[in-house]
């Protein structure tokens, strides 16, 4: 007899043709895969074939091999996915990005670092707006006044007793800081409403026609010109031999400061209209595509991007932290972010899904994105339950402990850099588009209606005020106890 094992248990057995599992002959479906074991048709029952133990053993061995193969495939797939995830993590941590050939700048020139200079927007490439350790007040009044035939919207810049402005009548002008006398003029083909950026030898001008001009700071003669292709509405930053800026062509660029040759460019999804902040090997800048970008200063590789809202101002950097305001449909928001952070692949998509689940009350509120410290909504109460959003149209200032921010609606705040808590807030009836300046314990703030306030930075109290009686859209600078103020009427005032 062919059966060699417990024939009594095998005489009424049926093998499932789908998964090779043995079942009782009375079963209609397989106990393993639930497949049908018997068939019926025209009142005739088709009896399943009874099998011997050797036949069943063969099927069972085949089934075990199938299961083993499936397990092996699952193990190999699991190992492969694990290795790919580890590889992605290594690429992320060590930033093994695909590079185009890196071109090094031909010099190490940077914006002037002299304490008595104000060479760019908010004084330095960290954009702190910190003038000096001395308190300031206007006691003498107008020292001198220079008048043009059109508006002055640009923030003046100063190097070695020469002050540089752009005007609405298509001119770049250098003046003597002692008396306001003209040193030189250079006429261009459009109004100049972007502040110049200065080194000891060169003045860099950003123009509406998309060009960056490098002018000899002593005589105004053109050294080189680079066409970025689209309009530029933000100043540039000079750091370690490179000019960093952005334009309306959705482009962040780096140009050799000495030769005008393109070093690299990085394309965003919308306009870039603010000056970048640069520290060490990191370029920080916001864009109208609602993303905040951190790029490698040497080659333009993306280090990090985070969707926080359209960039409204040039980032201010303290140590390794950037502070900047963004605009969303909910209004302006002051943000704090670690600039040394790098992208973690898939993290942003994961956080977006988590936020969606949180919105559906299906998950707890997610933690802040990697590197994001805090954010503060800038809103004003108008009575009752009404809260209106505020707009920021200027840059920030900081003393390293507090950030000073103003809004177009006339509110001025002091905010703790550690946690975003508000130390004090004052409100004025006039609008504000000028950046604050810090000098000692004095916060100098210009209003659109021409009023200039000296505010105690510690408690927000008004220490003094001065009325200029002209509209002010640009920002002032403070050098050697003299405040230089541009006006819409086309005047530049030296006040002390």
Whether the per-residue pLDDT at 8 is higher than 50: the answer is: no
Q: Which of the two residues, 381 and 438, has the higher pLDDT score?
A: 438
* Res. 53: pLDDT tops 70: no
For Cα atoms 393, 413, 494, give the angle at the middle one, nearest 5 degrees.
60
1-9's contacts with Cβ under 8 Å and 24+ in sequence apart are 2/52, 2/53, 2/54, 3/52, 3/53, 3/54, 4/53, 4/54, 5/53, 6/53, 7/53
Q: 441 near 475, Cβ under 8 Å?
A: no
As a whole number of angstroms, the distance between CA 376 and CA 458 comes to: 20
SS3 425: strand
Q: Give the DSSP H/E element, type plus range, for residue 174.
A: strand 171-176
CA distance 446 to 395: 13
Across the chain, mean pLDDT equals: 86
How many CA atoms, within 13 angstroms, populate the side-chain half-sphere of residue 87? 7
Mean pLDDT for the stretch of residues 212-239: 96
Structure confidence at residue 389 as a pLDDT band (50, 70, 90)? confident
pLDDT per residue over 290-324, tens digit each?
A: 999 999 999 999 988 888 888 878 999 999 999 99
pLDDT at 46 over 50: no
For residues 4 and 18, the answer to whether their CB atoms sit within 8 Å is: no
**What pLDDT was estimated at residue 174?**
98
446 Cα distance to chain centroid = 27
| Widest distance between CA atoms in the chain | 124
What is the per-residue pLDDT for 60?
67
pLDDT at residue 64, as a whole number: 76
Q: Which CATH class is domain 130-495?
A: mainly beta
Of 299, 294, 230, give the one whose Cα is nearest residue 264: 299
Mean pLDDT for the stretch of residues 100-125? 89
Give the whole-angstrom CA distance, residue 276 versus residue 234: 9
Torsions phi, psi of 349, nearest 5?
-65, -40
- Per-residue model confidence (pLDDT) at position 4: 37
pLDDT > 70? residue 92: no
Least-confidence region, from 3-7, 65-69, 244-248: 3-7
Q: How confident is the model at residue 330 (pLDDT cuts 50, 70, 90)?
A: low
Q: Is the pLDDT of residue 43 over 70?
A: no
Q: Are 464 and 442 in contact (CB under 8 A)?
A: no
Can you give the pLDDT at residue 100?
A: 52
Q: How confident is the model at residue 65 (pLDDT cuts 50, 70, 90)?
A: confident
Helix or strand run (H / E) with residue 373: strand 372-381
Residue 486 is predicted with a pLDDT of: 97
Which residue ranges make up each domain of the chain? 1-94, 130-495
pLDDT in tens, 340-381: 887 655 555 556 666 567 677 777 776 677 788 999 988 765
Question: What torsion do the CA atoms of 386, 392, 396, 400 make, to the nearest 10 degrees?
Answer: 20
Better-scored residue on pLDDT, 251 or 10: 251
């Amino acid at each position: 007899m062919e059966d060699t094992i417990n024939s009594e248990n095998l005489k009424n057995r049926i093998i499932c043709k789908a998964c090779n599992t043995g079942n009782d002959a009375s079963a209609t479906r397989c106990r393993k895969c639930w497949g049908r074991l018997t068939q019926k048709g025209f009142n005739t029952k088709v009896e399943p074939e009874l099998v011997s133990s050797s036949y069943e053993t063969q099927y069972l061995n085949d089934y075990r091999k199938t299961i083993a193969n499936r397990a092996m495939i699952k193990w190999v797939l699991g190992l492969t996915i694990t290795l790919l995830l580890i590889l992605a993590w290594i690429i992320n941590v060590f930033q093994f990005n695909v590079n185009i050939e890196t071109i090094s700048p031909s010099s190490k020139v940077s914006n002037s670092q002299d304490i008595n200079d104000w060479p760019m927007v908010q004084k330095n490439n960290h954009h702190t707006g910190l003038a000096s350790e001395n308190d300031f007040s206007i006691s003498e009044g107008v020292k001198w006044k220079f008048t043009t035939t059109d508006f002055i919207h640009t923030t003046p810049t100063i190097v070695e007793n020469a002050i540089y402005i752009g005007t609405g009548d298509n001119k770049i002008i250098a003046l003597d800081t002692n008396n306001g006398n003209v040193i030189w003029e250079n006429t261009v083909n459009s109004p100049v409403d972007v502040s110049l950026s200065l080194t000891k030898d060169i003045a860099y001008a950003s123009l509406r026609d998309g060009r960056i001009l490098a002018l000899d700071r002593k005589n105004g003669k053109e050294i080189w010109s680079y066409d970025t292709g689209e309009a530029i509405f933000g100043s540039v930053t000079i750091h370690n031999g490179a000019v960093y800026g952005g334009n309306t062509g959705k482009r962040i660029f780096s140009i050799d400061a000495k030769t005008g040759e393109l070093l690299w460019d990085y394309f965003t999804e919308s306009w870039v209209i603010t000056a970048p902040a640069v520290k060490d090997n990191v370029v920080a800048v916001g864009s109208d595509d609602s993303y905040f970008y951190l790029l490698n200063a040497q080659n333009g590789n993306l280090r990090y991007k985070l969707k926080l809202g359209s960039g409204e101002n040039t980032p201010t950097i303290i140590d390794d932290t950037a502070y900047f305001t963004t605009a969303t449909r909910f209004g302006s928001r002051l943000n704090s972010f670690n600039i040394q952070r790098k992208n973690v692949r898939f993290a942003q998509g994961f956080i977006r899904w988590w936020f969606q689940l949180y919105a559906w009350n299906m998950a707890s509120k997610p933690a802040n994105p990697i590197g994001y410290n805090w954010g503060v909504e800038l809103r004003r109460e108008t009575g009752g339950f009404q809260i209106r959003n505020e707009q920021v149209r200027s840059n920030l200032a900081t003393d390293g402990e507090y950030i000073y921010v103003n809004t177009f609606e006339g509110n001025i705040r002091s905010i703790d850099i550690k946690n975003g808590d508000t130390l004090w807030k004052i409100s004025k009836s006039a609008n504000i588009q000028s950046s604050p300046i810090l000098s000692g314990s004095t916060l100098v703030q210009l209003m659109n209606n021409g009023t200039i306030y000296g505010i105690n930075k510690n408690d927000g109290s008004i220490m003094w005020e001065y009325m200029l009686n002209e509209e002010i859209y640009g920002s002032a600078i403070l050098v050697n106890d003299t405040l230089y103020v541009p006006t819409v009427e086309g005047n530049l005032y030296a006040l002390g």
